[in-house]
Amino acid sequence: MKLIKSTITALGLLFTVTACAGNKESKNQNMKGENMEIVHLTKAEFLKKVYNYEANPNDWKYEGDKPTIVDFYATWCGPCKALAPVLEELAKEYAGKVYIYKIDVDKEEELAGAFGIRSIPTLLWIPQSGKPTVTQGALPKPELKKMIDDTLLNSK
């Protein structure tokens, strides 16, 4: 009887873990799909998609093919939480024109340190050509749109 209970418990646990893994997988597919415009980056992805500061420590060389906003944030940060839905709206509005990336400073401490991030949220504005600029704090949507139009898209 104990063997049957143990087997049933183990199978139940296996099904639960498998179901959760399936949900995680489908979530990851949505993040890579067309509807998911905001992408969470690791240091390795940042080096490939944005700027390889290890290979080019003295020269800024943007690796992307569209202007980019990089949001340095933390999950516990109130202003970061307030900014997140605004960035999601902007990602939809500017889909195909601008990339919006997010970097969790707690998970990517080395990357945050490389850019001297001391306050969050910090946004790194990267035009297709030229040097990036930095803003700090949760700016309102109209100001963010103006920055995208003027700084990234040059559509004054």
Q: 20 an active-site residue? A: no
Evaluated on CA atoms 16, 22, 23, 25, the torsion sign reads positive
Pick the catalytic residue from 50, 69, 74, 77: 77
The Cα–Cα gap between 81 and 63 comes to 28
The tokens describing 17, both together, are 């873990």
Helix (H) or strand (E) holding 2: helix 2-32
Pick the catalytic residue from 50, 80, 91, 117: 80
DSSP strand pairing (38-40 vs 133-136): unpaired
The catalytic site residues sit at 77, 80
